[in-house]
């Protein structure tokens, strides 16, 4: 059975984008996950622990998840049984 890399990429992107945005907002309002959020500051350009950073995290999370899902789906399809055409 093959996977659709496009659908998998969109799914990963939406989930990771929302998770990163939610984690940032949680950090802004409660201080919880501060150490983890500080790690993302060094990874993503324009990301910061703020409301605007949550939007940047949503965008960067979507892009990262999309690329990861596309690559994962593509590699899975290479090794999936019955994928030899």
The pLDDT of residue 85 is above 90: no
pLDDT of residue 71: 97
Q: What percent of the chain has pLDDT over 90?
A: 88
CA–CA gap between residue 15 and residue 2 (Å, rounded): 21
Q: What pLDDT is attached to residue 24?
A: 95
pLDDT, tens digit (0-9, with 9 covering 90-100), for 26-36: 999 999 999 99
Q: What is the pLDDT of residue 2?
A: 87
Looking at the whole model, is its pTM more than 0.75?
A: yes
Are the CB atoms for 60 and 54 separated by under 8 Å? Answer: no
Beta strands in the chain (DSSP E): none
Q: What is the average pLDDT across 64-78?
A: 96
The confidence band for 21, taking pLDDT boundaries of 50, 70 and 90, is very high
């Amino acid at each position: 059975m093959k996977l659709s890399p496009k659908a998998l990429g969109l799914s990963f992107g939406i989930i990771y984008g929302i998770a990163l945005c939610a984690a940032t907002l949680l950090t802004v309002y409660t201080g919880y996950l501060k150490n983890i959020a500080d790690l993302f500051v060094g990874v993503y350009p324009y990301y910061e622990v703020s409301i605007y950073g949550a939007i940047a995290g949503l965008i960067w999370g979507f892009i990262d998840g999309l690329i990861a899902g596309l690559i994962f789906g593509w590699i899975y399809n290479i090794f999936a049984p019955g994928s030899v055409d």
